Structure 1
């Protein structure tokens, strides 16, 4: 059931997503340096703790995402936005008071457990937007989040030089608090609470959700996309170092990530609109195919600027990937289980985000960094096959069925009108 406030909600949530994503990404580049501040001096220990602390955030998010989805279906998506916003504001502020690696580990686990602002915003917008404009709506949300992801590390870098690392956590907590208040006062949700007749557990919910084809295939596609694309990110700076002799490696590595973000942000609204017109499955298939094609040559680049060109092209594809997957999940989700479906989808996403860098690190140590791009391209080509043979046929058939149903409804309506006219004429006669 769409909401007449959907456009207003969209613009407010775009701004809130920008703030939340900027706040979250301010921290990520400085976790290893913050560990050194907390007294971890051995380089191997810093690397080990960095990996564990980065990963534990996604592990707890993976475990708890279905629970938040279930609660959102019962009590509303806005409540989940507020839970996540206020919860993260408190936990991230407390992270500034960490005393050692174990307290940082515990706080990052807690942060992942209560996180989910962006998935909750996607669920709220996908439910309140008219079905014909879901692609555009989620594309705009993605643009807001990506813009925050580009600006966050930049702001974080400037603040770290001026204020020190602890201050970044206080600023981040304050920023997320502002976003949470923005949701509290300005976002409206037309949610009608429904009592569930039968209480179900997470496994039963999962079985029911994936019984609708091709939802499970989309979950797998989401997982593989995250694995293939996120697995490269932590090691990109090392590859940039290999390509350019410059002293400003951090700047050039940041630029290689940012150029992808700018392309993603620019393409998301356009590809969202295109998917509403042509079909989300059509845009997803093309975006995946293009992503697989432009990822492979990155393994063979000879200069930094060649890498930048291919990263930009990859960013354009990303603008069509995640909004299309989320739009399809929204269209296919069982009635009354929409947020739970997004909850499971997010678990697959977090699992990919967690495993991608781990497996990527191992592969790079065995076969070199360039092998990551080849592996990533192969995974994306496998995704193309999944979408072509498991998703597209089902969606094409569903569109045909919907058209047939619409025609039948129109015929019934015409028959009713004709009958009414006949009765009227007979009455007059």
Structure 2
């Protein structure tokens, strides 16, 4: 298949996937209160638990799915994840208690892995000179879905109730699965000499966590995802606090949340091009520092309008972080190991996503919601500074792995 056709199809898939996720997740606290009978005193605790259980399970499963992706193919793993997620999203829409929702989210963790599967497919088709652009477009698609999801979710929740949003998300994920089955071909594998096959088998035994560059990128992903997921469970509540009312808070939260996604959809491909020209590591450090600085400033406004403007600016910087990390990982790994690489990356993100909501709920409950933004911003800024001051050590490649 032509790489441009693959990029176009996967971009549509990722937009639908991201919209399905962000249609629901920012409003989970309100779903717990309005539909499942959780009291406002306990909503932070339940939000943290229900956010985290999915990420715990998917963190364990992601490396397993990644390894299977390398052996059985990228496309089968994408189809597996799409079917599983569609079923579990539908189940989330019919639950009647927070405990049932928690178990549905556990099943969702077993099904997860669609995003790394899509990245692995795209990285197999992307020409080397277009890698940064392709990763940027994929991230832009992810953030574009982040624009559509909260807006659509807010409208649907206000008009039809939040359960309808779960059913629509399930339908969108089923559509992604169908598109993948019909239009995407399994990425071709390069013909290898007996010597190359022997090296590839030996590479399978390599502990990727011992490769310094890969390990540092994974550590970075844990902290970044933790900082971002600290914010998601409390964003709706914080918007209500700035709005000084609970009236239309779901729709307002959707609009504010989507501003970051809209900004990211614009800037992600530009950051990809910048990284291709000036270095992905440098781009990662710049965007991390910018994101951290804006997050800290977001704790200052006491009204909704300046906070919303800063949400847009934050999205401009944040959109460059993951395309840079993904591009670094692709450049530092052989093609036959990218399923494992992206599986580990997804696992790292899930670990951060597990810790983040719990920490965010604790800080929001005992110190106030403003301090959640300050803490998240400091995490981002410190990560950028540490990576810049002590960059991963470049060594001569060993076998097919570059350190």
Question: What TM-score do the two structures reach when normalised by structure 2?
Answer: 0.87
**Residues 29-44 of structure 1 mapped to structure 2, 5 A cutoff:** 29-35=26-32, 40=37, 42-44=39-41
Alignment match, 1:343 = 343
Alignment match, 2:282 = 282
| Deviation, structure 1 residue 180 | 0.7
2 CA distance for matches of 1:48 and 1:245? Answer: 23
1 CA distance for matches of 2:205 and 2:374? Answer: 33
> Please, what is the CA RMSD of the aligned residues?
2.9
Preserved contact between residue 66 and residue 347 of structure 1 (Cα < 8 Å): yes
**Residues 78-227 of structure 1 mapped to structure 2, 5 A cutoff:** 78-192=75-189, 208-227=207-226
Alignment match, 1:239 = 238
Alignment match, 2:401 = none
Larger deviation, residues 338-347 vs 286-295: 286-295
Preserved contact between residue 92 and residue 169 of structure 1 (Cα < 8 Å): yes
1 CA distance for matches of 2:28 and 2:295? Answer: 28
2 CA distance for matches of 1:229 and 1:173? Answer: 25
Seen in structure 2, the aligned counterparts of structure 1 residues 227 and 42 have a Cα distance that, compared at 3 Å, is: closer
Secondary structure of 2:382's partner?
Answer: helix
1:60-115, Cα deviation, whole Å (9 max, x unpaired): 11111011100001011111111111221222223334354333222211111111
2 CA distance for matches of 1:365 and 1:45? Answer: 10
Seen in structure 2, the aligned counterparts of structure 1 residues 69 and 278 have a Cα distance that, compared at 3 Å, is: same
1 CA distance for matches of 2:258 and 2:111? Answer: 28
Alignment match, 1:319 = 319
Seen in structure 2, the aligned counterparts of structure 1 residues 313 and 37 have a Cα distance that, compared at 3 Å, is: closer
Find out whether 1:257 has 2:257 as its counterpart.
yes
| Deviation, structure 1 residue 147 | 1.5
1 CA distance for matches of 2:70 and 2:342? Answer: 10
Preserved contact between residue 209 and residue 333 of structure 1 (Cα < 8 Å): no
Gapped regions of structure 2 (runs ≥ 5): 398-403
Larger deviation, residues 7-16 vs 169-178: 169-178
Seen in structure 2, the aligned counterparts of structure 1 residues 214 and 64 have a Cα distance that, compared at 3 Å, is: same
Alignment match, 1:424 = none
Seen in structure 2, the aligned counterparts of structure 1 residues 300 and 42 have a Cα distance that, compared at 3 Å, is: closer
Alignment match, 2:58 = 61
| Deviation, structure 1 residue 149 | 2.0
1 CA distance for matches of 2:294 and 2:322? Answer: 17
Alignment match, 1:405 = none
Preserved contact between residue 287 and residue 320 of structure 1 (Cα < 8 Å): yes
2 CA distance for matches of 1:157 and 1:208? Answer: 44
2 CA distance for matches of 1:312 and 1:352? Answer: 23
Q: Alignment length, in residue pairs?
A: 391
Seen in structure 2, the aligned counterparts of structure 1 residues 300 and 101 have a Cα distance that, compared at 3 Å, is: closer
| Deviation, structure 1 residue 279 | 1.4
Seen in structure 2, the aligned counterparts of structure 1 residues 283 and 392 have a Cα distance that, compared at 3 Å, is: farther
| Deviation, structure 1 residue 49 | 3.5
Preserved contact between residue 301 and residue 307 of structure 1 (Cα < 8 Å): yes
Seen in structure 2, the aligned counterparts of structure 1 residues 105 and 265 have a Cα distance that, compared at 3 Å, is: same
2 CA distance for matches of 1:212 and 1:390? Answer: 16
2 CA distance for matches of 1:165 and 1:212? Answer: 44
Secondary structure of 1:300's partner?
Answer: coil
Seen in structure 2, the aligned counterparts of structure 1 residues 257 and 217 have a Cα distance that, compared at 3 Å, is: same
Secondary structure of 1:52's partner?
Answer: helix
1 CA distance for matches of 2:239 and 2:33? Answer: 24
Seen in structure 2, the aligned counterparts of structure 1 residues 249 and 24 have a Cα distance that, compared at 3 Å, is: closer
